Structure 1
């Protein structure tokens, strides 16, 4: 048995959240132990954001070959070498992996233990042959895919996001269970790469997003040949000679060659023995307060494992809150009003703050909804990317409550609205900045400026201007 380790900070989990804490604490001169039982970099690097966006980029390149007619360029059906596509995906992961590697963190002074951790007391952990005692323990164990309770599903071969990027055979017909962000991103990507794709969604696709914006994305996917079945319940999954079949309620059957399950994720807390540390948790994750502290004052939970926000950027943000609050002892509280997210379909879909539905539920008629279409943006017209909408929610005093965008590069364009919410800027600030022309970024200014249209060009203002026009030149 090794001697007791007594670091200033002990982190369980080497994904996005844990690595940010480890790097920050080590560079501040603290003694840091990081425990990771799986792959460094966690879900984002190995199974999530990085491989999915690499696959989407390849699919976009394939789709571009089909879409040249509008520019006077003869369209062609691309020849897709799916094995090489997956080589590209693996290469992107490999190029980023050194940033998250054991070697890099050991050079920063972090002691990395490749073990499974479990609590043995309120401030003690066991990891392999190591005992660790620390006054500051950070749980950053992430989340994993969950399977819905569909009869037969567990008995047939299927993909999740943790396995699909190891596949090197293009499905002839991919069935996707789940019409959320992961399901639709993968559905469009595989369709563009040449697979037939059918999505089965029990409710409505992208149900957590603004319905006016999500409808733009859904229409594009249908236009590209993705078959979407919404409000469709799967009674059971069966194995067939050629693959799998989804049997529907109250009737119907859809057969495919492969199955992707994209119906959600659950926090990873198994094997931690949280009870021995007095850390409260439930099926939604580890319970934390707004400073991300658990029921044990010596333990914090950040990232997906606390069940708050399953986004990589929020994992990093929560890690920074831990550093600010626990290490610098400065005020650090999680603000749900500034949380953004994006779905990387084409067109993209991004949101920050309240959408129209939630704003009206909270404030009633005391909200103004501002819209600006991509069809009214000259840059979008030049690139023939006019399917899209900027939708901003403000109150009667000009305070920005939220914004959503469906359109090209929405994940980039939402950032001005992220700044507006985090900086508590008023709509006038967004209406008065000067963007370069022609850019998609002008949509922010135009949408914000529409807040003043009714007042600026209304009868009272017109009367005032006519009166001023009769006065001598000033």
Structure 2
């Protein structure tokens, strides 16, 4: 077995967002970095996640706007015949972004890229396709896979996940979506807008982690787009017949006995970490009960030489979080520091309308309050006839912004300012005191802050103090008046 005598500063296992950002960060700091990827660099975000899904959503929004959705028109849409065009657009978007995540880009940043399978074999040691290497530190960034629940008959049905849905060459005629989270809602709405008949089977309610009022708006929007949503549904089994590929060959059965036809079943019911066969048990890296790599707030594992970031950890599986946390892990490793990651984590569900949230989204303690602006009172929303939304802030008794939710077009763009406000512990008076451009959807955030600041001024003690200040100013003006001379 071949052995390398050189000791690597940082071994990065995985070439997705976390691995790429972590490797480039460490290399820029002067470290010798080797990144190992078993398939292709770019990870889920580039190939099966953010890039293709947001391109699909954009294409579907255009289709809905052009009247191609059969839920909005009298006859069948031409969307099925245009699905090849949508696929071409997705491929073009991936091709445009792929060079930034390519091995060439990593090599240009000073990172050595190895294609192969890495496995830890001992403390400070790993094996890459038979070659033993040594390292000072390692970053585990192997990501996660879609989880497929053990539903009877599902293994014989035409199933796709968020990874394999992009392999479809034709638009499904009868799509059943199992799940009600962001992926289920985004893909279900997009494919319905393109012309598919879509049924969503949701165990609890859609978007269970989001504000209930936000979920209500998304539910109404999906329904308007033709999606049939069955909440509180437990999928008990799937039966599949061997008849034609384009017919509804499967029927999905729920607990109350109803069945739903499907030529395609999209399973969007969570994910599972890629930690098998890494040899983590050989080097003392602890996993949690679901198999995720345990990390502290500096992204270090139970082995002080090994760090982890991205979907392989229990942290929320967001691309932006993977990059930020991997950068922190890499710099901590190669510089010997212990910087902690921020606990302020923004998230966006890219349905129409979008749901964007950060921090505390409903009052959790004494003295906390909310300030809500309905977008029916936001001028930009009125001018664009997009009033189904709101901006809601959660505020503590000192007036600090703890978090909030924005529902509406481009809500994710507004969330940046709200995230900064939460991170910097700004008050509603701070936000209200900043001049904002008009008219924008961001007016909802500003007006929610203004409304809360004005409410504070209505408190009896504050009103008394302000009244006294007004009387003092009036008296001073009278004393300095030329008429007194």
For 1:132, what is the secondary structure of its paired residue? strand
Please say if residues 16 and 44 of structure 1, whose CA atoms lie closer than 8 Å, have aligned partners that are also in contact.
yes
Show the 5 A alignment for 1:24-423. 24-66=25-67, 79-80=78-79, 81-240=82-241, 241=243, 242-282=248-288, 283-336=290-343, 338-356=344-362, 359-360=363-364, 363=365, 365-423=366-424
SS of residue in 2 equivalent to 1:126: strand
- The answer for unaligned runs of 5 or more in structure 1 is 69-73
> 1:3: which partner in 2?
3
Report the 3-state secondary structure (helix = DSSP H, G, I; strand = E; otherwise coil) of the residue aligned with 1:112.
Answer: strand
Superposed displacement of residue 118, structure 1: 0.8
Aligned equivalents of 1:366, 1:132: Cα separation in 2: 56
Shift, 1:257, TM fit: 1.6
Following TM superposition, by how much is the alpha carbon of 1:203 offset from its aligned partner in structure 2, in angstroms?
A: 0.9
Cα distance in 1 for partners of 2:101, 2:467 equals: 65
C-alpha deviation, 1:465, in angstroms? 7.0
Shift of 1:67: 9.8
Cα pair 2:116 2:129 within 8 Å, conserved: yes
SS of structure 1 residue aligned to 2:66: helix
Q: Does structure 2 retain, via aligned residues, the 8 Å contact 1:123–1:134?
A: yes
Q: Contact 2:361/2:403 (CA < 8 Å) preserved in 1?
A: yes
Deviation for aligned residue 1:349: 0.4
- Check whether the contact 1:65–1:75 (CA below 8 A) recurs between aligned residues: no
> In 2, Cα distance between the equivalents of 1:471 and 1:106?
70
How big is the shift at 1:449? 1.2
The 8 Å contact of residues 41 and 103 in structure 2, kept in 1 or not, is answered as yes
Task: List gaps (5 residues or longer) in structure 2.
Answer: 478-485
Q: Structure 2 CA distance, aligned partners of 1:123 and 1:157?
A: 44
After superposing the two structures, state which structure 1 stretch, 121-130 or 84-93, moved more. 121-130
State the 1:76 CA deviation. Answer: 10
Contact 2:10–2:334 under 8 Å retained in 1: no
> Considering only aligned residues, what root-mean-square deviation do their CA atoms show, in Å?
2.2
Task: Verify the 8 A CA contact 1:245 1:255 in the aligned structure 2.
Answer: yes
Give the Cα–Cα distance (whole angstroms) in 2 for the partners of residues 105 and 463 of structure 1: 63
**In 2: Cα distance, 1:261 partner to 1:164 partner:** 10
**Alpha-carbon offset, residue 192 of structure 1:** 0.6
How far off is 1:398 after superposition? 0.8
Count of residues paired in the alignment: 463
Take 1:401 and 1:228, find their aligned partners in 2: how far apart are those partners? 32
Q: How far off its partner does 1:213 sit? A: 1.4
- Aligned partners of 1:116 and 1:128 also within 8 Å: yes
Q: Give CA-to-partner distance per residue, 1:331-365, whole Å, 9 cap, x none.
A: 411232x0111100000001110120xx42xx1x3
Q: Are 2:31 and 2:334, in contact at CA under 8 Å, matched by a contact in 1?
A: no
Residue number in structure 2 paired with 1:441 = 442
Q: TM-score, normalised by structure 2?
A: 0.91
Q: CA deviation at 1:117?
A: 0.9
Deviation at 1:253?
0.9
Q: Deviations over 1:84-104 (max 9, x none)?
A: 101110111111111111122
Contact 1:66 1:77 in 2 (8 A): no
Q: Which has the larger radius of gyration?
A: 2
Distance 1:244-1:67 versus aligned 2 partners, 3 A rule: closer
Change (3 A) 1:75 1:234: closer
Instruction: Give CA deviations for 1:2-40 in whole Å, capped at 9, x if unaligned.
Output: 331421110000000000011122222221110000221
SS in 2 for 1:8: strand
